[in-house]
Amino acid sequence: MPKTVQLDEATYEALKSYKVGGLTFAQVIRRLMENQDPEDFHREYRAWQKRVLKNMKKSGDFKPL
């Protein structure tokens, strides 16, 4: 069953630039996802979050609850 995914304009335009030939958006997204395992994606995202938090703490923008 088809699903609707909302994208901001910039993301839509970036995704559209990947479309070639008769590929659907679903096919483009599937091909992009084939390039990275979910576990690797999650690991990289957690590492990014840690870097952001570290930088916030250094800058003084981080205020613990």
CA dist., res. 62 & res. 53, Å (int): 7
Determine if the pTM surpasses 0.85. no
b vs e for 52-64, b when ≥16 Cβ sit within 10 Å of the residue's Cβ? eeeeeeeeeeeee
Average pLDDT over residues 39-62: 90
Q: What is the pLDDT of residues 18-39, one digit of tens each?
A: 999 999 999 999 999 999 999 9
pLDDT for residue 12 is more than 90 = yes
Q: Look at residue 55 in the predicted model and tell me its pLDDT.
A: 87
| Measured distance between the N- and C-terminal CA atoms of the chain, rounded to whole angstroms | 43
Contact 7, 15 (CB under 8 A): yes
CA dist., res. 15 & res. 8, Å (int): 11
Local structure of 35: helix, strand or coil: coil
